[in-house]
Structure 1
Amino acid sequence: MPDIQVGSQIFDLAFHPSNTTVYTGLLNGSVKAFQYDEQGQHHQSFSLRPSRRSCRCLTTDQDGSHLFAAGKAKSIFTIDTSTGTISDTRNDAHDSPVNRMKHLLPNMFCTGDDDGVIKLWDPRKSQDIRCYTHHFDFISDFLWFGDKKQLVSTSADGTLSVVDIRGKKLEPLARSEDQEDELLSIVSIRNGTKVVVGTQLGILSIFNRSQGWGDCVDRVPGHPQSVDALCALPSSYPSAHSTILTGSSDGLLRAVQLFPTKLLGVVADHGSFPIERIVIDQNGEGRWIGSAGHEDTLKMTDLKDIFEDEDGDGDSDSDQDLHTAMPSDGENRPNTDVTVSEDQAHSNAIPQVLEANPGDESQDSDSDAPKEKKRKIKEGKDSLAGRKKKWRNEIDAEPSFFSGL
C-alpha cells in the first residue's frame, strides 16, 4: 500500500475494529480518518481539529461507533465516526497532558498522563470512575487482561503496575521493582502467560505472570536504540505465540522471535525517524500493520506479503526466516539478512546483541512530548555492568548478529 500522507507528525493511530478505516492523531491537533481496501488504495473520509494542541492518543469503543481522542489540551474528545463530528467533550479531564489511552470494556476506557496519573472512564459519565496516582512519571503504555479484569501500565519511572478495576482500592494490586530504566511499551505473548516490555536501553524485559510482577525473569538485549512500540502477530500465524513486532528509535520495524530468541528480519523502514506506534487492523487479527514515527507519513504494510509464502500458506516452521520487506528507498540500508560477515559488523555496530537471558518535534510548542523526560546515559558507562545475575538460556552471539539491521 502506498504511504498515507497526513500533513503533520503522527502521534498515535487506531483502527476501526471491524471495517477498513484508520484514524490518526496529529501534532497540529487534527484527527484524520482514511479508508483503504484490499488492493491498498485509500482516501480520506474525514478530518477535524478538536484542539489546537497536539493529539497524542486515540482509541475506539467496542463497535467503533465512537473514537476517543486526547493530548496536550488535557481534555477528552468523543468523535462520532459515522459523521466525523465531535459529540462530547470532557474539559480538563487531567491536570497534565494525556499521553496514553486504551479501551477496556464496552463501557470503560482508561487514560494516563505525563505525571503518571491513571484514570478510568465511563463514556456515559462526565467524571472519572477512579484515579490512581502511584506512578510519578509519564504513562507510556497499557496492557489489558480481560480474563482477570486487570490493567497493566508501564511508566518512565522504571516500574510497571497492575490494578484490578473491580476493586475500589486506589493502590495497585502489584507493582514491579525499579527496573533502572524507562519502560516504554508492553505486549503479551504465549496466550497472556508472559509479558514483554520494551525499554529505553533497547532491552526486552520478560515478565512471567505465574511468578508475579516483582521483577523480570528474562532480559533480551539487542536493539541498538530504545524500543518505543511493541505489537503481537495475529493469532492465525503459527509463530504468533512467540513472535513480536518491535518499533525502535533507529527507524526499523523488526520481527523478533522469543523462546528461542531469533531476529527474523525487518518488516518496515522509516529511515531516520523513530517509530512511536505499531498497530494491526481488525483488532490485531487483520492483514495490515500501521506504523508511524516522527514524520507526516503513515506506513501501511501487508503482513501476508511478509509472513506468508507465495502460495499463501503460513510458514509452518516458527524458526523460518520471514520474507524481509524493504521499501523502495531502502537501498541505503545494510543487508537485512541475520547472518552477516565480520567485515560488515563494524559498519553498523551495536552495543549489545540479542540473547535469551532473563523525535524531532521542534516545529510546534506541543513537541514537549514525554520523550524529553528520558534519562541521559553517561557516555562510556555500561548500563548493565553492575548486573551480576546469570539469566536462563543465556547464549553467546557475535556483535555481527544485528549488523545488517
Structure 2
Amino acid sequence: MKLARVYYKYIFFSLSAGEMPGVSVAKDSDTEEDGEENDENEQDEEPDEPKEPKIRETPEDIKFEAIVNTVAFHPTRDILAAGDLDGDIYVHSYSCVEGGNKELWSSGHHLKSCREVAFSHDGEKLFSISKDKSVHIMDVEGGKLVKRISKAHSDPINSMLLIDENLFATGDDSGTLKVWDLRRGTAFMEMKQHEEYISGMAIDHDKKILLTTSGDGTMGVFNIKRRRFDLLSEFQNGDLTSVAIMKRGKKVACGSSEGMIYLFNWDGFGATSDRFAVKAESVDSIIPITDSILCAASTDGVIRAINLLPNRVIGSVGQHVGEPIEQIAKSYDGHFLASCAHDQKVKFWDISSLSAITVSDYRRRKKKGGNLKSLSKKAFGGGDDFFSGLIEETEIKKPEEKEEEEEDSDSGSD
C-alpha cells in the first residue's frame, strides 16, 4: 500500500509538470482565454495602408553636378531638357507628385559647354548648340544622336532659334548669324552685322522677320524670306541680352545688362519708343507670359513679372538666392516657369495666376525702398526658398497711412 501511494504521488506530480510522454496536459481556462484574445487582436490589427503621395504646388527642384546654362520644355508632354557647363544634356520627366521627377536619359556628346537646348515643334527631336561650335540633333525618346553639324560656325555658338519644322537659326560669339535648312543640310543665309556675340533671337508670327540682340548694344533686323539684312537699331547702354515680341506683335522688348527694358515699335526698329529701369543688376533672360506681361530673370537671382504699357514691375515669381540666373522657360500649358542658375539647380515656379492679372493705368505711390510683392508661395518666404529679412508686401494699411494716387507717367503707346 505504501508503494502504491508513492506511485500515485509520482503520477500526480508528472501530470502537473507535463512530463509524461504520450499524455496531453489540458491548459487551464484562463490561459485559453488569453490565447483567444491574442488571436483576435492579431486579426483586428490590419497592415498599415500605404501613405498617399504628397502633391506639391510645383515639381521639386532638379539638382545637377554642374552649372546649368539652358533649359527647355517639351511642347506637349511633361518633359524638360537641360544643358550644363560640362557639355552634358539631361532630359527629365517632371511631376507635382513628391518624388515624381525622373531622369529619362542623358547625353555627353558635346565636348564643351552646352549653351542652348530646344525641342522641335512636333516634340520628336531635341536640338542643342555648344561652345565647341557644333549643332546636335537627338531623338527625344531614347536620346540617340540623329545628326551632328560638327563645325557649324567658326566661333563658339551662343544662341539658337527653331523657326519651323525645317528651318532654324544660330548666332555665335563673333556676331555671325546663320539660318539653316534641314532639308538641304546646310545654311542658306549667313551674315555678320553685329560686332559682339548674339545673345538672343525672336521671329514674328509670319516667320519672316528675324530679330537678334547682341553684346554690342544693338538689335538686328533680318528678312529671312528675302535673305537680306534690313537694319541695326541705335546703340543702347550696355549689352542687349534677350528679346521678346509683345502686344500682339506691335512691340518688341529687349533686356539689358544695365537692368533696363527697352521697347521698340514694330516697323520702327531704328530707335526705342520707351525704356524703363527694372532695378535689377542685369536682365539676362525674358519670356512672354501674356501679350502684356513677361517674366525677366536677372543676375541678382530674382525672377520678376513685368507689365508693359503701363510699364510696371508687378512682383517676384521666385528666386535662386544670391545666384545669377542663366535662363528661364515656360511650360507648354502655361502653368510653370523653369529657371536654371549657378546653384546647379533647375527650379519650378507657379505662374498660372499671372494671366489673370490686370494692371491699372494708375498706381499707388510706394515707400522708398519697398520690397517686391510675392506672386507665389515659394517667392520671398514660402516653402524652402527665401531671402532672409525680405517680407511680402501687404495691401493692408493702417487708417492713418493715407496713400496718394498719381497718374502713371509711363511713356509710349500701344
Q: Does 1:247 align with 2:297?
A: yes
TM-score, normalised via structure 1 length = 0.76
- Alpha-carbon distance in structure 1 between the residues aligned to 2:193 and 2:356: 44
In structure 1, the partner of 2:112 is: 53
Q: Does 1:219 align with 2:275?
A: yes
Of 213, 234, 237, 1:180 maps to: 237
- Alpha-carbon distance in structure 2 between the residues aligned to 1:74 and 1:147: 29
Offset of 1:34 from its aligned partner? 0.4
In structure 2, the partner of 1:193 is: 250
In structure 2, the partner of 1:300 is: 348
In structure 2, the partner of 1:335 is: 391
Amino acid at match of 1:35: S
Offset of 1:340 from its aligned partner? 12
Amino acid at match of 2:275: R
Offset of 1:164 from its aligned partner? 0.9
The CA deviation string for residues 178-210 of structure 1, in whole angstroms up to 9 with x for no partner, is: 123210011121111111111111011111114
Of 140, 151, 155, 1:92 maps to: 151
User: Which of structure 1's runs of 4+ aligned residues deviate more than 6 A?
Assistant: 338-341
In structure 2, the partner of 1:21 is: 79
Offset of 1:277 from its aligned partner? 0.7
- Alpha-carbon distance in structure 2 between the residues aligned to 1:118 and 1:339: 48
Q: Match of 1:167, SS? A: coil
- Alpha-carbon distance in structure 2 between the residues aligned to 1:316 and 1:22: 27
Written as runs of structure 1 = structure 2, the 5 A alignment for 1:112-151 is: 112-147=171-206, 149-151=208-210
- Alpha-carbon distance in structure 2 between the residues aligned to 1:148 and 1:122: 14
CA contact (8 A) 2:87 2:108 kept: yes
Amino acid at match of 1:181: G
Unaligned runs of 5+ in 1: 234-239, 308-313, 342-354, 359-391, 394-405
In structure 2, the partner of 1:153 is: 212
More contact order relative to length (CA 8 Å, sep ≥ 6):
1
CA contact (8 A) 1:219 1:356 kept: no
In structure 2, the partner of 1:347 is: none
TM-score, normalised via structure 2 length = 0.75
Structure 1 pair 333–127 and aligned structure 2 pair: CA distance change class (3 A): farther
Q: Does 1:34 align with 2:92?
A: yes
CA contact (8 A) 1:188 1:196 kept: yes
CA contact (8 A) 1:76 1:93 kept: yes
Structure 1 pair 168–80 and aligned structure 2 pair: CA distance change class (3 A): same
The CA deviation string for residues 239-276 of structure 1, in whole angstroms up to 9 with x for no partner, is: x2221111011000011122223222111110111112
In structure 1, the partner of 2:375 is: 323
Offset of 1:278 from its aligned partner? 1.1
Root mean square deviation, CA, Å: 2.3
CA contact (8 A) 2:176 2:192 kept: yes
State percent identity of aligned pairs: 28
Amino acid at match of 1:15: F
